Amino acid sequence: MIPVGRRNLQGNHACAYAAIAAGCRFYAGYPITPSSEIAEKMSLELPRVQGVFVQMEDEIASMGAVIGASLGGVKAMTATSGPGFSLKQENLGYAAMVEVPCVIIDVMRGGPSTGMPTRPAQGDLMQARWGTHGDHPIVVVTPASVGEIYTETVRAFDLAERLRTPVIVLYDETVGHLVETVDVPDLSDVTSAQRKWASGPKETFLPYADPGDGVPEMVRPGDGYRCHTTGLTHGENGFPTQRPAEVEEMTRRLLGKLERHRDVIDRFETVRTGDAHIVVVAVGIAARAARRAVVEARAKGIAAGLFRPITLWPFPEAAFREVVAGADAVLVVEMNAGQLALEIERLVGRRGKVARLNRISGEPIGPDEILANIEELARHGHR
């Protein structure tokens, strides 16, 4: 049963409960450490709400089945880790292209390749953005606690449905296996959007026409619209096209769709950034260590702050630019060889120093180490 009220929950279990609370009624997956608890919990809970769980033959098939179920009109999700996430990229691109709402959980472990299945890492930040080929829209959210896994998984379904796009919930193994006390809301208090269904006359319906907000209405098989869905570049009528003007218009709408809905997409947390001279940027478990480091730096008289993107992609650029406008230095803390730093360097440009603190040993980064790096920046005049 879905717990409500104050509970001790594991991150991966909170993810499963949140998905069901958000209306997910289909799960297809393939076992992979450190995400398997999500599949196990879904296999137990989904039948209790008349949902369907299926363990497919591989990661590719599970992504395909999720898209198939969503095309059928059912909220659907899968969960995986780095190696499986690589395999999912093919069909993830299809979901982005034909605009199918779906949620993919990637619990990050050490990589590349098989890497360290039981060790935490943040090596998929760029794969989550650019893993599938071609220019494509994608939303990626990065919770940093068990409670936030719950709220962000609910929000992932909300965004997927509103924007007709795949949404990735990306967190490291530490957060996934952490057990924390969470206030689980009553199911009736959880709100999650439902896609807009096709309406209007069936004869003239155009499945990929822009109704004004960049997000076309979606056809439900059986409702009488009998449309065509293809991963080939298609026009408003859903059929393949290679006419340059039509291709350009469709692709621009697809890519521009997210920019038009930044109000619901962008989410971030700031800690004492108002007067900060040194801004730390981090996500997931690294951000929790960074928060502690910032508080300790303040106690030592260093004007440090934390910017934590909760929506990682598209990156909350506007808010970040505002935060760093008055800062001298930015410290990017991440459990990889430097991925988020690339985006931060792009945004900061030549206006300030961007320092990096990276960990690729399969361990989280502790507050002391971050504090030492903040102090080092402060010693060099960045205060």
**Given the rule CB under 8 A, which residues bind another protein?**
1, 25-26, 28, 47-48, 50, 52-54, 56-58, 60-74, 76, 90-91, 94, 219, 221-224, 226-232, 239-240
Task: Please identify, using beta-carbon distances, which residue of 240 and 381 lies nearer to another protein.
Answer: 240
Task: Please identify, using beta-carbon distances, which residue of 53 and 307 lies nearer to another protein.
Answer: 53
Per-residue burial over 40-52, b if 16 or more Cβ lie within 10 Å, else e, is bbbeebbeeeebe
Residue 53 beta carbon to another protein: minimum distance, rounded to whole angstroms: 8
* HSE-CB for 354 with a 13 A CA cutoff: 20
DSSP assignment, residue 234? B
The alpha-carbon radius of gyration of the chain (Å, integer) is 21
Residue 136 CA to residue 103 CA, distance in Å, equals 16
Residue 168 beta carbon to another protein: minimum distance, rounded to whole angstroms: 18
Residue 254 beta carbon to another protein: minimum distance, rounded to whole angstroms: 17
Alpha helices of 300-360 — where are they, by DSSP H?
Answer: 317-324, 340-348
Residue 281's closest CA among 376, 347, 351?
347
Task: Please identify, using beta-carbon distances, which residue of 22 and 333 lies nearer to another protein.
Answer: 22
Residue 77 beta carbon to another protein: minimum distance, rounded to whole angstroms: 11
H-run or E-run covering 318: helix 317-324
Task: Please identify, using beta-carbon distances, which residue of 186 and 259 lies nearer to another protein.
Answer: 186
Residue 145 vs residues 128, 132, 172: alpha-carbon distances, Å: 19, 28, 10
Residue 71 beta carbon to another protein: minimum distance, rounded to whole angstroms: 6
Task: Please identify, using beta-carbon distances, which residue of 3 and 47 lies nearer to another protein.
Answer: 47
Residue 5 beta carbon to another protein: minimum distance, rounded to whole angstroms: 19
Residue 191 vs residues 4, 152, 300: alpha-carbon distances, Å: 15, 12, 43
Residue 62 beta carbon to another protein: minimum distance, rounded to whole angstroms: 8
Residue 64 beta carbon to another protein: minimum distance, rounded to whole angstroms: 3
| Separation of CA 240 from chain center | 30
Residue 180's closest CA among 144, 143, 146, 142?
146
Task: Please identify, using beta-carbon distances, which residue of 194 and 270 lies nearer to another protein.
Answer: 194
Which neighbouring-strand residues pair with 169?
105, 141
In this structure, the strands spanning 139-141 and 166-172 are parallel
CB-based contacts of 240: which residues, under 8 Å, 6+ apart?
A: 230, 232, 233, 234
Task: Please identify, using beta-carbon distances, which residue of 5 and 222 lies nearer to another protein.
Answer: 222
Task: Please identify, using beta-carbon distances, which residue of 102 and 281 lies nearer to another protein.
Answer: 102
